[in-house]
Amino acid sequence: MLNIVLFGPPGAGKGTQSENLIQRFGLIHLSTGDIFRANIKGETELGKLAKKFMEKGELVPDSVTISMLESEVDKHPGAKGFIFDGFPRTSAQASALDAFLLTKSSTINCMLALEVNEEELRTRMLNRARTSGRADDADPGVIQNRIDVYNRETAPVAEYYRLQGKFVGINGLGSVDEISDRLCDAIHASLKSH
């Protein structure tokens, strides 16, 4: 299996780049943000719970997020691999993912971390709000909270993968195609080294 964590702050381009990567490598795309939004739309109990956190730019609690992610993985028993987009976002999620994949004799091959400065992130999210309809992209206060939560709770997850020798930083500035090429090169390099 080829399992990739696509990492980076909110607005770094994880969703856009996932689209290219799933086509090129035949992977299943699991975006926890997209799954929560589908649950909110479907007015499920999970959606109602997640909404309270998402509208403030806070993280949905680990226990809820981890069990949701595991059941999504289990929906694709024959998958060639996964792109985890927006997960793991805490150290507890990262170790739970490792333990879960181990039960399937699998592992994360690499973490690709899109690097984009905060000024650019704010601009991208406000632009995205015009077409995405995402309330959390339209409010500068919520955007700032998401960036602060990322710096405080999510950024340390990079260290978790760095210690395993799996962290690859990717310049997230440039055209969609340029960034996509950088990601593909990094995946090929990681496949060669393992």
Query: Which residues lie near ligand AMP (CB under 6 A)?
Result: 10, 32-33, 36, 53-54, 57-60, 65, 86-87, 89, 93, 146
**Beta pairing, strands 167-171 & 110-115:** parallel
Angle (nearest 5°) at CA 42 between 76 and 8:
60
Edge-to-edge order in the sheet of strand 167-171 = 28-31, 81-85, 2-7, 110-115, 167-171
Q: How far is the CB of 186 from ligand AMP (least distance, A)?
A: 21
Cβ closer to ligand AMP: 10 or 13? 10
Angle (nearest 5°) at CA 56 between 116 and 119:
20
Q: How far is the CB of 60 from ligand AMP (least distance, A)?
A: 4
Q: How far is the CB of 23 from ligand AMP (least distance, A)?
A: 20
Q: How far is the CB of 180 from ligand AMP (least distance, A)?
A: 19
CA distance 171 to 105: 32
Cβ closer to ligand AMP: 149 or 186? 149
Cβ closer to ligand AMP: 41 or 192? 41
Q: How far is the CB of 52 from ligand AMP (least distance, A)?
A: 9
Cβ closer to ligand AMP: 86 or 172? 86
Cβ closer to ligand AMP: 54 or 187? 54
DSSP for 64-132 reads HHHHHHHHHHHT-TT-SEEEEES---SHHHHHHHHHHHHTTT----EEEEEE--HHHHHHHHHHHHHHH
Q: Determine the residue with CB nearest ligand AMP.
A: 33
CA distance 136 to 57: 7
